[in-house]
Amino acid sequence: MSYFTEEASAETVNARIGAEANPRLAQVMAALVRHLHTFTKEVELTQDEWDHAIAFLTQTGQICTDERQEFILLSDILGLSMLVDAINNRRPEGATENTVLGPFHVAGAPERAMGETISLDGKGESCLYEGRVLDLEGQPVAGARIDVWSDNAEGYYDVQQPEIQPRWNNRGIFTTGADGRYAFRGIKPVSYPIPDDGPVGKLLGQLGRHPFRPAHMHYRVSAPGFRPIITHTFVGEDPYLTSDTVFGVKESLVAPFERVEAETLWRSPFDFVMVPEG
């Protein structure tokens, strides 16, 4: 054991980790301490800046409730959520890519019949979403559950407006048959700001960053024997496509949104390609 010095700061802290510590925890914490100390030395952090950082983290914790998770939002705008997602969801060429789950997924959405609508408030431009769930060989995946959710025409999820929107507005679960096909009606989603009335929104403003996400439809696709896919499809011409505040866009997830002269105004075809488990 040695006294603390500026030069050997990280080594001194990490030398205290005991032999009984969980090896993975010891590895992760030692690396975290090394990087934090290197960062602090690189920017020569002032006492005032550190006090500000502590106040920021305190406010981030204080605004959290069962419905609001400001730390995840912080991770999202720092690109950390997408980095963790990328590391944990490396997939072979041709498989559908993952992206962030986001805070607005609600388990237990209504199971709906193929072709049914998820839009219950009658607002927005109607869109037919359809395609297939396939394996890497292009064979249909039967029994795939497609859990979908989107914002409404005003850019809010039902859970953000429980007094205004019908419960389960723009949500539903569809299960594929033997042909792997799915179809449902929703609205062409619109871009919206992430909740920006807290410390994370304030930080975005101070950094000269906007809080918007480009318009997207969320999906969680699961099937027995396959790795679940958590992803979105994005509307191609959205002005925020290349500046998503949470970095969730991947080129392969930009879907066609075609204008059609039918009951629906738009059609968005997209196939999901699943990877076997293990």
Residues lying near Fe ion in the complex (CB under 5 A) are found at: 102
- Cβ-closest residue to ligand BEZ? 102
For the chain, the C-alpha Rg in angstroms (whole number) is 22
What strands, in cross-sheet order, belong to the sheet with 171-175? 171-175, 145-149, 216-222, 229-235, 254-255
In whole angstroms, the minimum distance from the beta carbon of 73 to ligand BEZ comes to: 6
Query: Using the rule CB under 6 A, which residue among 11, 17, 89, 103 binds ligand BEZ?
Result: 103
Of the candidate spans 33-41, 102-110, 137-145, 253-261, the one that interacts with ligand BEZ by CB under 6 A turns out to be 102-110
Q: Does 246 bind ligand BEZ (CB under 6 A)?
A: yes
Contact of 250 with 71, CB cutoff 8 Å = no
The residue whose two tokens read 């999901």 is 272
The residue whose two tokens read 């001194």 is 12
Three-class SS state of 164: coil
- Residues in contact with ligand BEZ, shown as a per-residue x/- string from 199 to 228 under the rule CB under 6 A: --------------x---------------
Alpha helix (H) residue ranges in the chain: 9-14, 23-43, 47-62, 70-77, 80-88, 199-206
Query: Using the rule CB under 6 A, which residue among 56, 104, 156, 168 binds ligand BEZ?
Result: 104
Q: Binding-site residue total for ligand BEZ (CB under 6 A)?
A: 9
In whole angstroms, the minimum distance from the beta carbon of 210 to ligand BEZ comes to: 13
Q: CA-CA distance, 115 to 263, in Å (whole number)?
A: 12
Of the candidate spans 2-10, 99-107, 163-171, 265-273, the one that interacts with ligand BEZ by CB under 6 A turns out to be 99-107
Binding site for ligand BEZ (CB under 6 A): 73, 76, 100, 102-104, 194, 213, 246
